[in-house]
Amino acid sequence: MNLKTLFLSVTLIFLTCANCSAEQIKAQEYRKILASENFYVEYDDNNLKKIIAQDNGRRMARTNLGGTHRAIVSILNPVGNFLANEREKYPEFMFANGKFYKFLEKDFALMIHEDQLDDENLNPGEGWGTIHQSLSLPNELAIFNWHDKFHEVPAALSEPVFIESTKKIVDGKKYDCDRYESKIKTAAGGQSATIIFDLCYTGGELVLAQSALLTNGKEYEINKLIVKKILPSVPSGDFKLSGKEKIHAAGTGDMNDLLENPAYIGRLNEIQ
């Protein structure tokens, strides 16, 4: 083997390895989309269809039946399915102009200002304590925008870092999977566990996002999401709001709260 052949062989090996371990091309595009002012993400989580969207500064989210559950409902209850379709077009949770909204019906929502979230008198039954979580991307997808305003990260959890890209078979299907790892840190500065995120692509598109916990030599599955869509804008007609939705004050232990008769504030377009 002469020197030229040796050099070419070494270069080829390096290039092949680099190709093996590089992040999928689309990952950078997802990062750009999810950090922008407009995006639409749809995924299935344990037969629940979840949608998180950002529309010109308004963050919205909702959960509907998905997967096989939805199919069963469709067959058994066509009227319910029609109503469910109607509901699908409205947000369940929303953040806009410093205010959080929780839609109990399509035209009836409770609202609080952002700085009210730590009010100790907030009605715990209304679940305002988890509103950030409801509007946040799950950890598996937040890899593309870890510091998103709504993504609350425990102090012990480090930002995931890209490890490698490999070909994997999951449930009998072949994927190109990007692996990321996040560390759980101890108070003494050590590491107690690792979270592994596998983002799996087919045809260049992200279709599966799963995570697992590695601790004491054991691996536990945390989550498995079927990714349906990651779009740079909200599809037309989705998350539509007429502006006439009736907005009411969140319960803060006052008489309205006790009588379960929330105080009316105004129409959505009047207070935004």
Partner 1 sequence: MKKFFLLILALIIFSAHVDAAKIDAYQKILESGRYTIRYDNLTPFPRVTNRDVVELYGKMGLAVQGNEYFLNRPLGGVVVSDGENRYEEVGYKDFFQCRLVKGGENFIFTRYPGKNGGVEYFGDKKGKVSANPRDYLIELLNGESFGDLHFTEMMTAIISDSQKNAAQKSYKFVTSGTLDDGLIYEDFANRDGNTVSAIRYYFDGDELKKISFASYGQEGNRVRARKCIVKILSFTDSPEQNLLRLPAGLIDTTKR
Enumerate binding residues for partner 1 (CB under 8 A): 115, 118, 120-125, 154-157, 184-190, 192-193, 195, 213, 215, 220, 222, 251, 253, 257-261
Our CB check for partner 1 shows the closer of 184 and 265 to be 184
For residue 138, the minimal CB distance to partner 1 (Å) is: 12
- Which tokens in the block code for residue 183? 């560390």
Our CB check for partner 1 shows the closer of 99 and 228 to be 99
Which H helix or E strand runs over 233?
Answer: none
Task: Tell me which amino acid residue 30 is.
Answer: Y
Our CB check for partner 1 shows the closer of 171 and 260 to be 260
Q: Is 9 exposed, middle or buried (0-12, 13-18, 19+ CB in 10 A)?
A: exposed
Our CB check for partner 1 shows the closer of 97 and 215 to be 215
Our CB check for partner 1 shows the closer of 88 and 126 to be 126
Our CB check for partner 1 shows the closer of 26 and 185 to be 185
- Which tokens in the block code for residue 112? 């609080």
Our CB check for partner 1 shows the closer of 85 and 121 to be 121
For residue 147, the minimal CB distance to partner 1 (Å) is: 17
User: Which are the contacts of 183, defined by CB distance < 8 A and separation ≥ 6?
Assistant: 157, 158, 191, 193, 194, 195
Task: Name the region of 104 (left: φ>0; alpha: ψ -120 to 50; beta: rest).
Answer: alpha
**CA separation for the pair 205, 24 (Å, rounded):** 9
CB atoms within 10 A of CB 128: 21
For residue 62, the minimal CB distance to partner 1 (Å) is: 24
For residue 112, the minimal CB distance to partner 1 (Å) is: 14
For residue 26, the minimal CB distance to partner 1 (Å) is: 27
Secondary structure class of 127 (helix, strand, coil): coil
Handedness of CA 142, 145, 147, 149 (dihedral sign): negative
Compute the chain's Rg from CA coordinates.
Answer: 23
For residue 201, the minimal CB distance to partner 1 (Å) is: 24
For residue 178, the minimal CB distance to partner 1 (Å) is: 20
Phi, psi of 167 (to 5 degrees): -90, 130
Asked if residues 145 and 151 have their Cβ atoms less than 8 Å apart, the reply is yes
